[in-house]
C-alpha cells in the first residue's frame, strides 16, 4: 500500500473507521465493559442480524473467511478422499481452505469477461471426472470482485451430479443475482470480514450462512472444539471463534453496508463514464447481477506502464491477483487443473488492474481519478 499523502490509496480501511468513529468506539467500549470476550451476546446478536439482513435461516460467526469455508466443508463431512472444484483466479484462501480439511482442490478456468468460473467446464468435470482424483463432493463458486458467477448453470450441474455448491461470498456481501442475494442460493456461503471487505471488522472475522439448520448447528459446535455442551466434545472440532469486540464493531457497521455498496456503484458509474471511448473497457457485468464492486477491475495488457502513469497522477492501483494459485510456489506442479487448463486465468493474472474503491472516497478524489482515466485515452 502506498502511504505518500498525494497518492489516493487503492484501499483505505482507516477511512472506514474514521467515518464511523463514534459508533465504533462506543461498540468497542460496550464489548470491553461486558467482561465477556469470546462468543457471547455480541456474537449471538451479530449472527441474528446478519442472517436477517441476508435472508438465511442461520449465520455462524467464526475467526476469518478462510475458516468459514473450511468449517462449511467440515460440517458437510468433506475432507480426505474428496475433491472440491473451484478456480485458480481467486484469493489463495479459497484453495487453502480446501487443503486445510484434507480435500483435493481441482482448479478450473474462468470466463474471460467476468473472471468467474466457466460453468461449462464445471458441468464437464462433474459429468466426466478427471481420472486419478477422489470423487468430487463439492464445488466452491467464487463471486469475485463483487458480482455473481454464472450461478444457475453451476447450481444445475451440481444438482445433477448430487454435489454441494458452496458460495465464496468474501467479496460479494449484498450482491444479487436476478434480485436474490448471493449467499442464499447454494448449500452454504462463506463471508470474510477482513477489514477491506465490503463488510469489514477491524481485525480478523468471518461468518457463514445457510438455510440448513442442522448443518449450522453442527458447524457451531465444530468451531469450538466440537462442543455442544461445555467441556464435552461430541464432534471433532477446531477453534475458530469470533471475538466480542469484532462482533460489536460488525453490528455497528452492518446497518451501513447497503449504503456503502450503493456508493461503490456510484463511483463505478463515474469510472465507467470516464473510460467511455478510451482504450480500456469498463468491467463487464454478469447478466442479471447487482454488482457491489468490492473491486473495480480493468483489463490492461500494458499494466506496468499504466500503473506507473496513474501513480504519477496520484492514483494508487492494485492487482487482484498477480499470480494464479496453481503457479504459486506452494501449489505449482502439485494441484490438479481441469482438462482445459487455466489459459484465461493466466492471461487475467497478467492483465488485471484494480482502481481505488471504497465508500469513503470523496467526490473530489473520484473526480481526480476520473481525470486521470480520461487522460489514458490521450497518449
Ligand X SMILES: *Cc1c(COP(=O)(O)O)cnc(C)c1O
Mark 217-256 with x for binding to ligand X (rule: CB under 6 A) and - for no binding.
Answer: ----------------------------------------
Closest approach, Cβ 320 to ligand X, in A, equals 8
The smaller minimum CB distance to ligand X, of residues 88 and 192, is found at 192
Q: For ligand X, which residue of 118, 167, 168, 290 counts as binding (CB under 6 A)?
A: 168
Three state DSSP letters for 27-59:
HHHHHHHCCCCECCHHHHHHHHHHHHHHCCCEE
Inter-residue contact 345 to 1 (CB < 8 Å): no
CA distance 107 to 85: 6
Q: For ligand X, which residue of 76, 122, 166, 170 counts as binding (CB under 6 A)?
A: 170
If one asks whether residue 198 binds ligand X (CB under 6 A), the answer comes out as: no
Q: How far is CA 158 from each of CA 94, 104, 138, 151, 164, rounded to the nearest angstrom?
A: 18, 17, 8, 10, 6
The smaller minimum CB distance to ligand X, of residues 94 and 224, is found at 94
Mark 131-150 with x for binding to ligand X (rule: CB under 6 A) and - for no binding.
Answer: -----------x--------
Inter-residue contact 121 to 88 (CB < 8 Å): no
The smaller minimum CB distance to ligand X, of residues 192 and 317, is found at 192
Which residue's Cβ has the minimum distance to ligand X? 65
Closest approach, Cβ 66 to ligand X, in A, equals 3
Is residue 190 reached through a cis peptide bond, with omega within 30 degrees of 0 on the bond before it?
no
- Residue 82 has phi, psi (to 5 degrees) of -130, 150
Closest of 220, 214, 227 to residue 242, by C-alpha: 220
Cell, residue 104: 483435493
Closest approach, Cβ 309 to ligand X, in A, equals 27
Q: For ligand X, which residue of 10, 43, 56, 66 counts as binding (CB under 6 A)?
A: 66
Closest approach, Cβ 262 to ligand X, in A, equals 21
If one asks whether residue 65 binds ligand X (CB under 6 A), the answer comes out as: yes
Closest approach, Cβ 172 to ligand X, in A, equals 8
The smaller minimum CB distance to ligand X, of residues 251 and 294, is found at 294
Question: Helices marked H in 175-256 — which ranges?
Answer: 213-222, 244-253
Closest approach, Cβ 199 to ligand X, in A, equals 11
50 Cβ partners below 8 Å, 6+ apart? 59, 207, 209, 250, 254
Closest approach, Cβ 170 to ligand X, in A, equals 3
CA distance 197 to 314: 23
Per CB under 6 A, the segment of 1-9, 90-98, 176-184, 209-217 that binds ligand X is: 90-98
Adjacent-strand bridge partners of 142:
168
Q: In 3-state terms, what secondary structure has residue 259?
A: helix
Scan for cell 442464499, then name that residue: 184
Closest approach, Cβ 173 to ligand X, in A, equals 11
Mark 13-42 with x for binding to ligand X (rule: CB under 6 A) and - for no binding.
Answer: ------------------------------
Q: For ligand X, which residue of 50, 194, 293, 358 counts as binding (CB under 6 A)?
A: 194
330 Cβ partners below 8 Å, 6+ apart? none
The smaller minimum CB distance to ligand X, of residues 93 and 267, is found at 93
If one asks whether residue 206 binds ligand X (CB under 6 A), the answer comes out as: yes
Cell, residue 79: 475432507
- Residue 228 has phi, psi (to 5 degrees) of -105, -25
Q: Which residues contact ligand X by CB under 6 A?
A: 64-66, 90-91, 93-94, 142, 168, 170-171, 192, 194, 206
Amino acid at each position: 500500500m502506498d502511504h505518500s499523502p498525494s497518492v489516493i490509496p487503492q484501499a483505505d480501511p482507516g477511512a472506514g473507521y474514521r467515518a464511523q468513529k463514534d459508533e465504533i468506539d462506543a461498540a468497542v467500549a460496550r464489548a470491553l465493559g461486558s467482561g465477556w470476550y469470546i462468543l457471547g451476546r455480541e456474537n449471538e446478536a451479530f449472527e441474528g442480524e446478519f442472517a436477517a439482513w441476508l435472508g438465511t435461516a442461520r449465520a455462524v460467526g467464526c475467526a476469518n473467511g478462510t475458516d468459514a469455508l473450511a468449517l462449511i466443508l467440515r460440517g458437510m463431512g468433506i475432507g480426505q478422499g474428496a475433491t472440491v472444484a473451484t478456480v485458480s483466479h481467486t484469493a489463495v484462501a479459497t484453495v487453502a481452505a480446501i487443503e486445510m480439511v484434507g480435500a483435493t482442490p481441482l482448479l478450473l478456468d474462468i470466463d474471460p469477461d467476468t473472471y468467474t468460473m466457466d460453468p461449462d467446464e464445471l458441468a464437464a468435470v462433474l459429468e466426466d471426472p478427471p481420472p486419478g482424483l477422489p470423487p468430487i463432493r463439492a464445488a466452491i463458486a467464487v463471486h469475485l470482485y463483487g458480482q455473481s458467477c454464472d450461478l444457475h448453470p453451476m447450481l444445475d450441474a451440481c444438482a445433477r451430479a448430487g454435489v454441494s455448491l458452496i458460495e465464496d461470498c468474501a467479496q460479494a456481501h449484498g450482491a444479487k443475482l436476478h434480485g436474490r442475494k448471493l449467499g442464499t442460493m447454494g448449500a452454504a456461503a462463506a463471508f470474510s470480514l477482513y477489514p477491506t471487505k465490503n463488510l469489514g471488522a477491524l481485525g480478523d472475522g468471518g461468518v457463514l450462512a445457510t438455510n440448513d439448520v442442522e448443518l449450522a448447528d453442527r458447524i457451531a459446535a465444530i468451531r469450538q472444539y466440537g462442543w455442544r455442551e461445555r467441556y464435552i466434545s461430541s464432534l471433532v472440532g477446531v477453534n475458530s471463534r469470533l471475538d466480542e469486540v469484532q462482533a460489536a464493531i460488525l453490528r455497528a457497521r452492518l446497518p451501513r453496508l447497503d449504503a456503502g455498496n450503493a456508493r461503490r456503484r456510484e463511483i463505478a458509474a463515474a469510472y465507467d463514464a470516464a473510460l467511455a471511448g478510451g482504450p480500456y473497457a469498463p468491467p463487464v457485468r454478469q447478466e442479471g447481477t447487482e454488482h457491489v464492486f468490492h473491486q473495480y477491475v480493468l483489463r490492461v495488457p500494458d499494466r506496468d506502464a499504466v500503473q506507473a502513469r496513474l501513480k504519477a497522477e496520484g492514483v494508487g492501483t492494485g492487482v487482484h491477483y498477480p499470480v494464479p494459485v496453481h503457479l504459486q510456489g506452494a501449489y505449482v506442479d502439485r494441484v490438479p487443473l481441469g482438462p482445459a487448463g487455466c489459459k484465461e486465468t493466466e492471461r487475467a493474472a497478467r492483465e488485471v488492474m484494480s482502481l481505488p474503491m471504497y465508500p469513503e472516497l470523496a467526490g473530489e478524489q473520484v473526480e481526480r481519478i476520473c481525470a486521470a482515466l480520461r487522460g489514458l485515452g490521450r497518449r
